[in-house]
Amino acid sequence: MRADHRSRRQRASQARRYEPLAVYHLAEQVKASGIDLPGIRGPWRVGERRVPRPGRTSLQAIPVISNLATDVVVDTKEHAVDVAGLLNWCGVDQLEPVPDLAPPTN
């Protein structure tokens, strides 16, 4: 029964994950146009958050982008470098999330 509870919890966690594919794609397009995203200076820096035990991908740390006020967790170190560079290149100093944002209904 305990294993069943854990799998339900994992499924619920996965349902809430958001992968910013559009942001990753935009970063790829910007890099393809010749912009050196890793070389762009700004408030966003790449770091990592150590995990007490390896997760499902066996990582010892999770890639994080931070501007010292906000931390954004991403799936890979490469995506962290790209997104941090993109935010810096765009001049985005802070992210201001909109609470309870939902897509419009038709």
Per-residue pLDDT of 4-39, as tens digits, reads: 454 555 544 444 566 789 999 999 999 999 999 999
Whether 100 maps to a domain, the answer reads no
Whether 8 maps to a domain, the answer reads no
Whether 43 maps to a domain, the answer reads yes
Whether 80 maps to a domain, the answer reads yes
Whether 99 maps to a domain, the answer reads no
Distance between CA atoms of residues 15 and 9, nearest Å: 10
Whether 9 maps to a domain, the answer reads no
| Cβ-Cβ contacts under 8 Å for 47 (sequence gap 6 or more) | 63, 64, 65, 66
Domain count, the chain: 1
Per-residue pLDDT of 36-59, as tens digits, reads: 999 999 999 999 998 888 766 677
Whether 101 maps to a domain, the answer reads no
Q: Which of 46, 9, 10, 13 has its CA nearest to residue 27?
A: 46
The pTM (predicted TM-score) of the whole model is 0.72
Specify the DSSP element, H or E, that contains 23: helix 21-32
Per-residue pLDDT of 56-73, as tens digits, reads: 667 788 899 999 998 888
| Range of the structural domain that residue 62 is part of | 16-90
Whether 60 maps to a domain, the answer reads yes
Beta bridge partners of 73: 64
Neighbours of 56 (CB within 10 A): 7
